[in-house]
Structure 1
């Protein structure tokens, strides 16, 4: 099976959003924000669409993985050094889509965002905000291809990389790519824990 990794375009947003929604349907943080399992897939797709359209696309770090049949099966949303935080303008523009996606859970979403921002590293780095593959892409090497695509650039630029793993079981996977656990971010009011992971360039 062939693996193609390429930059995301606006026309890719619907397909990529659906793939990421499927990937994150059982994610502890997303389940905390959107506890209604029946509504979660559609709401997640709207949320990812807003993030990609109004934030990640402009930074040039959004990439997707396609099967050899041209089906979008996953993606990685990276933010370049100094641009991990959403700008006031993009926040304003994306607010209606986020409100539609999260509904009454907007407050919980804001709490998660604030908790992660409060412990985010200050040293310049590439930030992997999101990476995931759909059920059709799991085990096909798409996640590895997505990670290597950007990490090779990090190494060439001598720039660190950072992510938060929302599943403890995924830590060994990221460690294979050179990431190390540096701390924990705990979502308030009984929310889940995320593991902060840092990678120095090789």
Structure 2
């Protein structure tokens, strides 16, 4: 009895954003971006909703039919990508949507963008969220498995940024490796960029 997965559609947008909000509200990075818990409660869903919009526009969202988990994926081509002059400036969108006076909304995207690999086309796991009540059941691994199997079959690497040491250890078990250059948020936590080579 495997996890039933479908591709999210525009009608799922708010439900997926709500899932991300619940899963990441107490995450170290979210707590750094929005230090005040009450303020975070009000704006966090809008902040992460931009990720949902980007994945719906430019990539895909694998979504459990029971709403328990979702993974946001982008296929990133080789070469330069993103940046302040890009037509679609995601860090600026996040700040504008959630908290225009809070530069941390934008800074987190700028800093992770600076270390994002550009040499090879890859699958970028933008975010993965599991309902807090269902965490620890292996749903995230099951949700990622079809994409990782396809990466292995097609010879495509994958990339992500882990936002906690706990999540980094989980990703390591699935073949991701820390790139060696952590992102240090000013007066805040670390983020760990991770690269996964396709397995033959």
Whether TM-score is above 0.5 comes out as yes
1:13-52 matches, cutoff 5 A: 13-52=13-52
Alignment correspondent of 2:115: 119
Measure the CA separation in 2 of the matches of 1:111 and 1:103.
Answer: 12
Alignment correspondent of 1:161: 158
Alignment correspondent of 1:60: 59
Secondary structure in 2 matching 1:121: coil
Measure the CA separation in 2 of the matches of 1:59 and 1:148.
Answer: 21
Q: CA deviation at 1:144?
A: 1.1
8 Å CA contact retained: 1:184, 1:194? no
* Cα distance per residue 1:83-102 (max 9 Å; x no partner): 9748944438x83x742412
Secondary structure in 2 matching 1:103: coil
Secondary structure in 2 matching 1:58: helix
5+ residue gaps, structure 1 = none
Instruction: Report how many aligned residue pairs link the two structures.
Output: 194
Measure the CA separation in 1 of the matches of 2:134 and 2:74.
Answer: 23
5+ residue gaps, structure 2 = none
Alignment correspondent of 1:185: 182
Q: CA deviation at 1:111?
A: 1.6
TM-score by length of 2: 0.86
TM-score by length of 1: 0.85
Alignment correspondent of 2:89: 91
Q: Is 1:200 matched with 2:176? A: no
Name the Cα RMSD after superposition.
Answer: 2.3
Q: Where in structure 1 do 4 or more consecutive aligned residues deviate above 6 Å? A: none
